[in-house]
Amino acid sequence: MERRIVTQLMTCMDESHRPVKPDDNAKGTTLPTDKKNTEAESDDEPGYVLVIGATDRPDAIDPALRRPGRFDREYALGIPDENARMQILSVLTHNLRVEGAFDLMKIATSTPGFVGADLTSLTNKAGNLVMKRIMDARKVELSRESVDGEDAEEWWRKPLSPEEKEKLSINMADFEEAAKLVQPSSRREGFSVIPNVKWEDVGGLDPLRHEFERYIIRRIKNPKDYMGFGVDLETGFLLYGPPGCGKTLIAKAVANEAGANFIHIKGPEVLNKYVDQSELNIWTIFNRARTCSPCIVFFDEMDSLTTERGKEGNEPVERIVTQLLTELDGGEERKGVYVIGATNRPNVMDKALLRPGRLGRLLYVPLPTPDQRVLILKALARKKPIDSSVDLVSIGRDNTCKRFSGADLSSLMNEAAMLALEDTLATIDTGWCDTSSTIKELHFKRALKKISPSVSNEQIKYYKDFRNDFRAA
């Protein structure tokens, strides 16, 4: 049936280019006198049929229709950029009652990946929030008046009073709240929730923070300034260093500070046993990121995907590396797409990835210094009942904590909390309950005897040698 329809459509579209003669028009039809005169005056002018098609699956259309003479021109209506979103919002808010300072550009900036239908839903949601605010105020007022009976059950059915109609206007806060509630259609698959991790949670690592603020965060927040100076900075970063030093935490903090879309890829989940499926997964990730730019793509444990090519039995991973090289520095532009990789084994990665234009910025994440250990302990202590007598500065600078990574310090804090909890439960069992139980200095000293550093001196030397070799190269 579909083939017959396509054949008929092609025939009709080919015939639509023939000039329409007056005799053909007159068959079976009687034209008014004025129309007859018009046809007589324009015998040589052909008639035209304009055909417009719309689809969201152009590759599914028969190729015979996608040639000159049939569908001559194709226009791709992609995801609107920031300026286009602002124009769409100006149309949608044209007839709305708004109050206060209303910044459409700020709304457009905070809605990456939104299409026209999503922005319409955003506007409707903002209106719903206004109605909810009015209904909540009405409900509170009725509860104060203690209305009983039928009026108490039907309070929401009553029409709006003139005072309530005066309050029926949308402000900037309503749109900002609605933007958090509306999920755009292009982000409903593959995107991760923006992590709730801030720089204060990382503790230390100020040089890395400065690098990412310079290359990603400011660039996303102030794109016009960078474009004005023609600055073309690196968009690929590789974080390497001993395990447990906070590489994943840094990437999450960058995504949170930038406010960009975030795709978190665990290396092994891209691999697929079917031929070409792994490459398709890589292409899909970058295609989604381009669609909803600005976007940060974070590859965790990247060494599992990018081992060096040319080794026997490594053919499936080689195809993934080739696809990654194409996406990172190929024909497809990736403006607004920032790639961050994290690995503990940079030596096994293919060297073609570690050049400028791809993962050009190699950032070493070292073990924390004594001062950084103090900052990490203070960041971890914010959510725990630490006794006021505990001196975290002395604990962080103690030689016992030498070679402790961020993960080791987190384990130390959790072990101290567990020891404090056990002491509290023991007092409850004896019949005496202390509701003001806290983590004391004694618990940290006991925990230090149980926790040992997870990074050896040989590992530290290996990372330092790699860093020096890379700089020398």
Q: Do domains 199-364 and 370-454 have the same CATH topology?
A: no
d(CA 426, CA 103): 58
Tell me the C-alpha distance between 145 and 203, whole Å: 53
Range scoring the smallest mean pLDDT among 110-119, 209-218, 327-336 = 327-336
Is the pLDDT at 434 greater than 70? The verdict is no
The answer to whether residue 174 scores a pLDDT higher than 60 is: yes
Give 82-187's CATH code, choosing from 1.10.3720.10, 1.10.10.10, 3.40.50.10440, 1.10.8.60.
Answer: 1.10.8.60
Tokens 């929401």 map to which residue? 156
Quick one: pLDDT at residue 40?
A: 47
What's the pLDDT score for residue 27? 47
What mean pLDDT is predicted for residues 234-252? 85
> Which distant-in-sequence residues (6+ apart) come within 8 Å of 31 by Cβ?
25, 39
Minimal CA–CA distance to 170: which of 82, 259, 102? 102
Q: Comparing 400 with 46, which gets the higher pLDDT? A: 400
Q: How far apart are CA 105 and CA 181, in angstroms?
A: 19
Calculate mean pLDDT across residues 430-437.
62
Residue length of the chain? 473
Of all residues in the chain, the percent with pLDDT exceeding 90 is: 5
The total of other beta-carbon atoms located within 10 Å of residue 363's CB is: 18
More confident residue, 26 or 51: 51
CB 216 within 8 A of CB 254: yes
Question: First CA to last CA across the chain, in angstroms?
Answer: 65
Q: For the residues 166-194, what does the mean pLDDT come to?
A: 79
pLDDT band per the 50, 70, 90 thresholds, residue 154: low
In this structure, are residues 197 and 249 in contact, taking their beta carbons and an 8 Å threshold? yes
pLDDT (average), residues 208-234: 78
CA 276 to mean position of chain CA atoms: 26
Of 237, 232, 287, 235, nearest to 263 (Cα)? 287
Binned at pLDDT 50, 70 and 90, residue 54 comes out as: very high
Tokens 């730019």 found at: 293
User: Which tokens hold the place of 167?
Assistant: 């309050």
Q: What is the spatial order of strands in the sheet that 236-240 belongs to?
A: 261-266, 295-300, 337-343, 236-240, 361-364
Q: Which residues contact 13 (CB under 8 A, 6 or more apart)?
A: 51, 65, 69, 70
Enter the tokens of residue 221: 């927040």
Q: What percent of the chain has pLDDT over 70?
A: 82
Q: What pLDDT band is residue 380 in, cutting at 50, 70 and 90? A: confident
The Cα 213–Cα 215 span in angstroms is: 6
- The string of pLDDT tens digits covering residues 62-119 is 888 888 888 889 988 877 877 888 999 999 988 888 887 788 888 887 787 788 899 9
C-beta separation of 282 from 328 below 8 A? no
Burial class of residue 32 in the structure, from the number of CB atoms within 10 Å of its CB (0-12 exposed, 13-18 middle, 19+ buried): exposed
Residue 456: band (very low, low, confident or very high) from pLDDT cuts 50, 70, 90: confident
Indicate if the pLDDT at residue 400 is higher than 80. yes
pLDDT at position 122: 92
CATH number of 199-364: 3.40.50.300
| 356-378 confidence digits (pLDDT tens) | 878 888 888 888 888 888 888 88
Q: How distant, in Å, are the alpha carbons of 197, 199, 404, 409, 446 from that of 412?
A: 21, 21, 10, 5, 10
Does an H or E element contain 339, and which? strand 337-343
Q: How confident is the model at residue 23 (pLDDT cuts 50, 70, 90)?
A: low
Higher local confidence (pLDDT), 289 or 291: 289
Stretch 38-67: mean pLDDT: 76
Q: CATH topology for 370-454?
A: Helicase, Ruva Protein; domain 3 (1.10.8)
Q: How far apart are CA 473 and CA 149, in angstroms?
A: 84
**Chain-wide mean pLDDT for the chain?**
79
SS3 content of the chain, % helix, strand, coil (to 5): 55, 5, 40
Contact 259, 110 (CB under 8 A): yes
Note the pLDDT of residue 97. 83
Measured distance CA(348)–CA(370) in Å, rounded = 31
Q: How many CB atoms lie within 10 A of CB 26?
A: 12
Q: Are strands 295-300 and 236-240 parallel, antiparallel or unpaired?
A: unpaired
Q: Could you tell me which residue, 295 or 117, shows the higher pLDDT?
A: 117
Residue 31: pLDDT over 50:
no
Residues 7 and 236: their CA atoms lie apart, in Å, by: 49
Query: Which of 393 and 23 is assigned the larger pLDDT?
Result: 393
Domain ranges of the chain: 2-65, 82-187, 199-364, 370-454
pLDDT at 33: 47
Q: Which letter does DSSP use for residue 191 in this model?
A: P
Q: How many CB atoms neighbour CB 155 within 10 A?
A: 15
pLDDT grade for 211, boundaries at 50, 70 and 90: confident
* pLDDT at residue 52, rounded to an integer: 92
